Structures are given as structure tokens and as C-alpha cells.
Amino acid sequence: MTALMRTGDNASIETILPYLRSQDAGLRAAAIEALQALPSAIAPFMEPLFRDPDSDVRLLATELARNMNASEATRLLCGLIEREQHPNVCAAAIDVLTEVGTPEALPALEKCAVRFAATPFLPFAISMAIARISGPEG
């Protein structure tokens, strides 16, 4: 993984990505760590990851946005929560948005809260994200 991280090209990313599907938690964690170290290189792969048929892959991919530029991470994560049907994937995206989200995330977060109103932990998490993103003035 270290050699692939040092190289950091598309071929390196493509070599690491299959480990997101590993049954071995250690391999999945190592893949996430390696990919997080390459936020610019992983950017072109984010949309396909967020559209992966496997909700576990989509959930893990939210962590990759954590080290990206805040506006790009916000754009990608908002796109995900606007179409995502799995509450745990949305929760993971909201967790990252709480840390790195910009005010542009607020409309998508509000829509997500309405969509998942019957899933109590999500509106609460979203209210926390909105409060953090809005800041003391919000």
C-alpha cells in the first residue's frame, strides 16, 4: 500500500479500490487509509464509488471525501445524500459533512432530513451537521 500511495497515479488507485470489497477488515482499513492519502488522485473515482451497487462500498467511500477540498467534498457528498436510499450511507456522508461541509450543503441536508424523517437518528445527525456548518450565526 505504501508503494502505491507513493506512486499515487490512476493505476495505483485502481489497484487499491478492489480492497474496499474485502471481507478482511484490516485490508479495507488499509485501502481507506491509502486512498485518503491521495485526495486529488481519488477525486475522479468518487462518483462511480458513490453509485456502486454495494451500499458498503458507498459507505466506505464517504470517508475518502474527508481529506478532499471542502467544496469538492461538499458537492460530492450532497450528490450522494440527494439520491441515496440507505440510511447508514446517508449517516456516514452526514458525518463527513459535519466535519468538512460548507454552507452549500444545507439545502441537501434539509431535504435528507425530510426524506428520512421516520429514521430518528438521521434528522438528529442532520440537525447537528446544520448547526456546525451554519456556525454561531446560523
Domains assigned to the chain: 2-134 (1.25.10.10)
pLDDT digits (tens, 9 = 90+) for 40-72: 899 999 999 999 999 999 999 999 999 999 999
Provide the mean pLDDT of the chain.
94
Cα(124)–Cα(127) distance, integer angstroms: 5
**pLDDT surpasses 80 at 31:** yes
* Whether the predicted model's global pTM rises above the 0.85 cut: yes
Residue 77 near residue 109, CB atoms below 8 Å: no
**103: which residues sit within 8 A by CB, 6+ positions away?**
133, 134
Please state whether 15 falls in left (phi above 0), alpha (psi between -120 and 50) or beta. Answer: alpha
